[in-house]
Amino acid sequence: MRVLRESMIIISIYFLGELLSKTIITFIPGNILGMIILLVMLCTKVLKLEAIENVSKFFLDNLAFLFVPAGVGLLTAVELLKGNSIKLISICIISTFIVMGITSLTVDGLIKRKKEEN
């Protein structure tokens, strides 16, 4: 019963994000809005981590399976990708370095913030 309750919490937050995306904030996808809402709820302690811990661990443990549909989708678009392989590889490399840089700055800032609190 606990897993069902945790799943319903996460699904409800997702649907709230989708609803906001379709009605008010149309330029941000609903799943992104749902993640932002979840983050805000966890940071403000409106939602305790324990309330979604089991389902969250399940999703993280099985994260690789969630990429399978995207990979299959890419295989169906091979003809579109053939002429643009250099561009796509360049974009992947550049975006990887951007994400790594932003992640390192964020982690560094959080570590400094934690040290200041102690």
* 8 and 48 assigned to the same domain: yes
Predicted TM-score (pTM) of the model is 0.64
- Counting beta carbons within 10 angstroms of the beta carbon of residue 116, is it exposed (0 to 12), middle (13 to 18) or buried (19 or more)? exposed
At residue 84, φ and ψ (nearest 5 deg) are -115, 20
Contact 2, 40 (CB under 8 A): no
Token reading at 38:
């979840």
Do 51 and 13 fall within a single domain? Answer: yes
Per residue in 53-64, pLDDT (tens digit) is 999 999 899 988
Kindly state whether residues 42 and 57 are assigned to the same domain: yes
pLDDT tens digits, 94-113: 999 999 999 999 999 999 98
Number of domains present in the structure of the chain: 2
Residues 22 and 77 in one domain: no
Domain of 9 in residue numbering reads as 1-61
